[in-house]
Amino acid sequence: MVETKRLVLDVLKPHDPGILEFSEVIARCEGVSGANVVLLETDREVQNVKVTVEGDDIDSAAVEEEIDGLGGTVHSFDEVACGEVLVEESETPQDVR
């Protein structure tokens, strides 16, 4: 099986728990070495956050389950990096504006 090294997720979550607790719980998931949660937008009832996790062999199902258990919903997987090494995105002519 191919190892997942990075996930970038678009997540909708309630205000509670805050992003500190939210990131700590996600960082404890199987195969996760670190987690980053960035607040993108907030309204009265929910917050939209970008969740980035990295590790040697991330259990994506466990990450989704933890997010769900915290009251969040994964809207999309915006980036996934798999394989023996972590490959960074390359800039192409379409990216230059």
pLDDT (average), residues 41-70: 96
Residues, the chain, total? 97
In whole angstroms, what is the distance from residue 51 CA to residue 89 CA? 17
pLDDT (average), residues 40-60: 96
Tokens of 53: 């996790």
- Is it the case that residue 97 has pLDDT exceeding 80? no
* pTM of the full structure: 0.90
- Is it the case that residue 1 has pLDDT exceeding 80? no
The region of weakest confidence among 5-9, 63-67, 91-95 is 91-95
Please report the domains of the chain, with CATH numbers, ordered by start residue.
4-85 (3.30.70.1340)
Distance of CA 51 to the CA centre of its chain: 3
Confidence (pLDDT) at 89: 86
